[in-house]
Structure 1
Amino acid sequence: MSLHAEKGKRDWFGGPVRCLVPLSEDEASEAIEALADCAAEDGLERLEAMLRGGGDGTAFLGTVFSLSPYLRDVARRAPAIIERLFDADVETRIDTLIEETANAAVGDEVTEAVLMERLRRLKAEAHFLIALADLAGVSDTRTTVGRLSRLADAAISAAVCFLLREGHQRGKLSLADPGDPEKESGLIVLGMGKLGAHELNYSSDIDLIVFFDPEAPAVVDPLESTDLFARLVRRLVRILQDRTEHGYVFRTDLRLRPDPGSTPLAIPVEAALNYYESRGQNWERAAMIKARPVAGDRPAATRFLKELTPYVWRKYMDYAAIADVHSIKRQIHAHKGHGEVAVRGHNVKLGRGGIREIEFFVQTQQLIAGGRFPELRGRETVPMLGQLAGRGWISEEARGALSARYWFLRDVEHAIQMIADEQTHTLPEDDEGLERVARLRGYGSAEDFSVDFRAALKEVETHYAALFESAPQLSSGIGNLVFTGDVDDPDTLSTLSELGFERPSDMCRVIRTWHFGRYRATQSAEARERLTELTPALLQAFGSTRRADEAILRFDEFLSGLPAGIQLFSLLQSNPGLLRLLATVMGAAPRLAAIITRRPHVFDGLLDPALMSELPNKAYLSARLETFLQGATAYEETLDRLRIFTAEQKFLIGMRLLTGAIDATRAGKAFSDLADLTVGAALEAVAGEFAVRHGRVPGGRIAILGMGKLGSRELTAGSDIDLILLYDHDEDAEESDGDKPLAASLYFARLTQRLIAAVSAPTAEGVLYELDLRLRPSGNKGPVATHIDAFRKYQRSDAWTWEQMALTRARVVAGDDDFAGVVTAEVDDVLTLPHDRKKVLGDATEMRQLIEDEKPPRDVWDLKLIPGGLIDLEFIAQAAVLVDGLDGERSTATAEVLARLSPNYCEPGVRDELLSAYRLFMNLTQVTRLCLTGPVDRDDMPPGLADLLLRNTDLPDLKVLEAHIEETSQRVRKHFEALFRAKHG
């Protein structure tokens, strides 16, 4: 169908557009009706006539607006964006907007405020039209990413021109030509990542590195130049990313600069060159592949990049460089080859078979061969696949398949982001969300989309594995591995050293123990034979963890507890992906390694081919728990099965997180759902057993309130759980009706003590959960079980501010269904009572200071306690609930509360920063709590864990991550103080 105005016959897109299917015809019609009303209000007669007249064009717009709330809202706020298409088609209008953006700073009347508004309006219109052309199918994906990148270039350049010209007017700079401020300014602005490659995604942030030449003609005082340009960059970031009533231009990231934790925002050229030549990391070489001048003194930028050529493109690869390339690969290697992938919740960028696998492969091959073959030095992914094929590094089939899949996955990424203009790469978990993505990409249903999506991931993964296997070998074979006799073989010791083992002689003794059949798992001749065949692959896998000795020792401990080994050895031999996963656990995750060692049978769960493709949601876990408990009749047997089930499922949820099959948010929900189900089952078992002797209290009902991270569904692998047990009974009930009756209050107190013992007492099968009941009314001084009336009275009359803040995360997790409704309603009533804003914020500030005084953070990795860490974020969210600071319904989840902070509580830009910080800290917390049994020790972190943290945050280096944590926490603390101290004082 051709999209045009029925009267003007003006073709907006220059041809037929893709036929999209709306979620709801009614919703599409309502969107068109509302837009027609907006057009009428603004006097846009042509647009109103077209919309009220119907036709193909109207139907297309209605469908788009039913699928993308973001695009619908942009159109309603500024319908003139569409009206202008009667005078110029989409392609022409986009080109005009990009040109106007580049010239946005021209004119004597332009102030910073005027520029910010102008850039935001132009970006919003261009963004809208780029999406419309993409969804209409008249722009291919390469055109879309190119337009987004050109728009970003234009906005950055306009802001830089404004700041340079202003510096000239204030006498801080002496420009060669104020009409062309960038000329000979000495300011170098490099676009990195997707911006540098002209591959920006729809809601991407932009990665920049800024350098300057203190000796440039424009610099008045070289000694002041660092401060001058650092201030300029700070203002550049503000102009581009601060949210105003007109939105934002681009979120801006400067973390790829050298040593970001300790360097200014703009770095002198000489200092930068010295850094790269003496201390530059291989990830920084990889990053520089995509570096491109986007603003400022472009000839100076070109000279700078030319000087960096020997650093980025080495003629020969040394051993350490090869090891680093393999380290980059390891970040995404561990999760390969474990059955189907769950479409819902899959990360299109970082997940299995995703965009990053294609990008990483191309970049690693460029690092290896680009020094010798200049044609492999390009920035763009797909053209470089062509060059790799041309040089014979990959097959034409692989090039064609990966190129097609790359653009397909980028299309999916754009659809995800077009729904709400959010910087996310994760497919929705809910039916409606997935349906939106599918239909935005032209599918009739989520089922059809899922088939193609899985096929794409599988093809990428298959080629990815084959590419690494078929790529030119960087080193010779593995070398000698002889473990017979009692004397160490010198060549074997040498081989083990080359593989990464620090104590090769000790490792030889460990491995001889296996082959001498001293463990049950290696007693049979066949098991020893399989293990002998497997040993080279085992040693290579453990060597790649960079903590090889520890990994082997943990595996040895695991092996010593196995009842039999032949099945495992055969499995690992035929499944390299599983072997790599085992190596990752042994090298990166001491907590998970300890679980495998104590309970080898949990490893069996990994054999389920559907494990990684099924989300561990409540329905999934409930069905498995029901099956697992079948046949258990005795009370103690039920409790033991609950402990076994919980340990196994915690492990399997952890493995999904470790492999990237689920993200940190989904893991938090899964750990919490597991706790809900197993604590509920324990309560049922305890109540049944207790009733055998003491009967039941007439009308007795119980509800368990989950508090803290259980209430907010953000549990980690190592969390204890905070509970409050509430009960009710008939008014005239005085005691229970069993053989040994108990007074009602004593009955529920004893029942609660039994539950505590059942859940937290250590047994041969371990502990179900560590429990904390200190959040109950009156804390440790109060009864362990609380009558609903006492709870109601306490919360309304006697509760401290911190107790009501804690109540914002309260959620009924188990107990009687009807009573759960009563308790939930009571919590809602308490939280919606009027609260004195000044008192709440003042009390929260004092509590935060008290915690800071009594529990100072250990270091930057103490993400809960650092100023601006998780406690600050939780306090901000909890206080918002109490002082009516939310838009929309209350949620117990901290992330959801932060996402709904209303403008009268904090500005939209602040809200976005708080939410982004919370997601970062929880992501890191989930991974570290999964892998470690104690606190993070920066100086003794398993390298495999460092790789995992970097993969999960999409950052290239631990120093960059630490700088990001510090920068983020400082921003949060600044917002915390602005929100609390200003508003209560």
Structure 2
Amino acid sequence: MSVAARELIDRAMSRLPDSLRSQVAEWISDFQDVGELPESEMALQSLPAVWASSPFVARACLRAPEMLQSLSGDGELERAREDGEFTLGVEQAIAEADSEEAVNSALRRFRRREMVRIAWRDLAGWAALEETLRELSALADACIDGALRWHRDKLQGRFGTPRDAEGHAVGFYVLGMGKLGGRELNYSSDIDLIFGFAAPGETDGPRCIANEQFFTRLGQKLINTLNARLVEGFVFRVDMRLRPYGDSGPLVMTTDQLETYYESQGREWERYAMIKARVVAGDQAAGQALLDALRPFIYRRYLDFNALASLRDMKAMIENEVEKRGLEDNIKLGAGGIREVEFVGQAFQLIRGGRERGLQERSIIRVLEYLGRQNALPGYAVRELLEGYEFLRRCENRLQAMEDKQVHELPEQPVDRQRLALSMGFDRWDDFNPRLDDIRRRVHDHFDQVFAAPQAERDSAAHAVPEIGDLWSEELDAEVASGVFERNGFERPEASLRALQTFRDGSHCRALSSNGRARLDRLMPLLLGAIAAAEHPDDTLARLLDLLEGIVRRTTYIALLVENPMALSQLVKLCSASPWMARHLARYPVLLDELLDPRTLYAPLRRQALADELQHRLDAHPENDMEQRMEVLRQFKQANTLRVAAADLSGVTPLMVVSDYLTDVAEVALSEVLDMAWKYLEGRHGKPWCVVDGERREARFGVIAYGKLGGLELGYGSDLDLVFLHDSVGEQQSTDGNKAVDNNVFFARLAQRIIHILGAAMAGGVLYEVDTRLRPSGRAGLLATGVDAYVDYQRNKAWTWEHQALVRARYVAGPEELGEVFATVRRDILGMERDLDALRKDVREMRHRMYQEKGQRSDDLFDLKQGRGGIADIEFMVQYGVLANARKTPRLLRYTDNIRLLGELAEAGWINGTDAERLADAYRLYRGRVHRATLQERPTQVDGAEYAEQRDAVAGLWQQLME
């Protein structure tokens, strides 16, 4: 050893604890007797600490000194490997092997060399945790695939190639489960495998056997090569117990058999296991086809809160085993251990993974990072869980690297404790252990936040007087039960008791499984207690029982409410405030998920945030899955309508802002519908083109909103009044696809497709009802109208009422250029010179006809919408004012909503400011009452005396301006 090398070694040795220094010095001395220490300064400086931390690495180097020279001399020790390098390394290692013994020996030598390299880089601090886990997993992948290919070639030499009934070669694949599947393999881990093959059949060789026999032999030989403990050790310990039926099941199964098993018999823990499943060897396409088919089994399309209870049960079993076997110091299974971090992430995956593509991840690190980005977990919790996971996994690797053994218990011997502390960067065990305890405490606290059971079970014996929750769990005398209801604020106790008994004894509850009934029995006392605190408990109970009747057999929703007291309280609060809300949630129970976080429930999104949310939802589904994307659109609309209604009911959102929110939701959805419909038609017929003045250009299509959407006054459940325009003119008006059609046909079909996407009845309801009768010529007109034809109609054929409707028209979807064309057309039409007397007469007669058809029939009631002095009178006055003054005051055409138009009319001098404000106040008052009537499911007719002052003011102005 050179003087410089000796100085490097001595300096590194001086930093070792006394308890480890002498053993390392002895190993170095022994190594010099059989080989040369590496020349690399990095290797020399790190050698004492690495060998002190891992006797396995030290002995492996002593056993094969040339291995250390090779790793160091070639620079392999100092750099990470790409996955492909492991594959190439295995191929080279077994290339000359002509027997099973030779293959087994070669793989073990290769594995030992790579484990030394990986451990060295980890212990020297040269590799991040993710690199270490990835390399260990890639090493396992390469060894499995190399051994598989070698044995398959040999078996095919004896029996021929396995083929299916059509004569196609049949693929065999290996699924890696657990940490191998997640590319998070630890240092001395078992590898959990499942074997599958594509189809039954038989081999085509002279010694023909069934495919199942062939692949069973292949699987057995693969396991033996990897798992057998020979003089040179093992490659990887193999565990096959995760396969269907466990040890009692067949070693190999066809894809169809595996798919049938999981779909018909798969249990919750198998869903949990399959989250990490990955094809690690063999026929990648065949294995991936199975995983794709099992995606609905793993990730349910609905929010599956049943999974939380199942995971809680699984964790309880582990805790019982930990206590029974005294494994409290187990950093994997003990409190605050690795498994608790994994359970937190996987709980969200199982519950929400079907709805959120970002959770369909094998890596727990990626899952936790995603939960942080989505605010599903607080930022500090994600940081502490990730920090804890990294610390615990490094600790696990370094424990196992000591002797290349699968251990998770903290060492008891002082020297081994010192090794672990040193490898984790601590001078003493007494410095390391408190840090580990702190990490585990934090992890366990976060685990408890996610998994802690909801409210403790009630102790019915603890109180002598029956409480509200006892009305469900105990058979109480009717008089006693009514008294309980009465003490809790119910005004109709007998009726409420009958409703509760009818629900409890009804067919929906009787048909529940034992688990379903148990969940309902946990929910109902909590629900009754929350209802008793509501403002109108009798009505709230009736509404919630109706809702429960629709969801009680879908136990995941019951589990959601049991597991989330916040969701339960918000449900009661909203249903108490509005029967419309109760009915909305009953129709679309998937919306119960929105109740989990009041921060988002009462904070409706504006335009860009809505567009981002919709895109995020759609990204989880391929573009060619039209049906599922249509369902996503409906869920998006229902969820955001719920948020708007919740904010409305809370009283914090003004009326006009409510309509703005609802309008934003509709326009974002409509824009996406247009995009979906266009792509669908373009895929079939190509793009529409036309030639104008010798220039070829793409024809454009846009959507015009009339009525409430056009006027920015959308309400709950409002229809969309739509007109479709295109600008195809000139020559060669045709699409450019293989199935080319005339542009008029293309745009008519496009409009039909939009109406279909909006109006199709699906599980999530109808997106929006559509009314297209305001298009030129009404029902007799073309569904999509060219701009020139639209202009001609509006100039020469349109009725006055159609120009009134145009006052509220806006361009809401399509290319901006066409929107500018429409704005010009609208400005020109509304700015036409008019005979004001004739105009006033037309508007007045149309209003009279509407009143005759829709007006109120009782002098004792006031119809807010159609009654004299009501909403329609104000709208007609505004429309007349715009049509009468737009030519001389073009600024009247800037807006389409009545409130701002009244302000503009006052500025223009058509009406004085006081009168304009009086109309605006009445309009806001009426519309606010209409909104509340919708949410309360009440008619829009009120007592005739209620708005007498406003009615008289509006009627007086009508007389002044219109008569």
TM range (shorter): 0.3 to 0.5
Please report the TM-score for the alignment, with normalisation by the length of structure 1: 0.46
Could you say which structure has the larger radius of gyration? 2
Please report the TM-score for the alignment, with normalisation by the length of structure 2: 0.47
Question: Which has the higher relative contact order, 1 or 2, with Cα contacts under 8 A spaced 6 or more apart?
Answer: 1
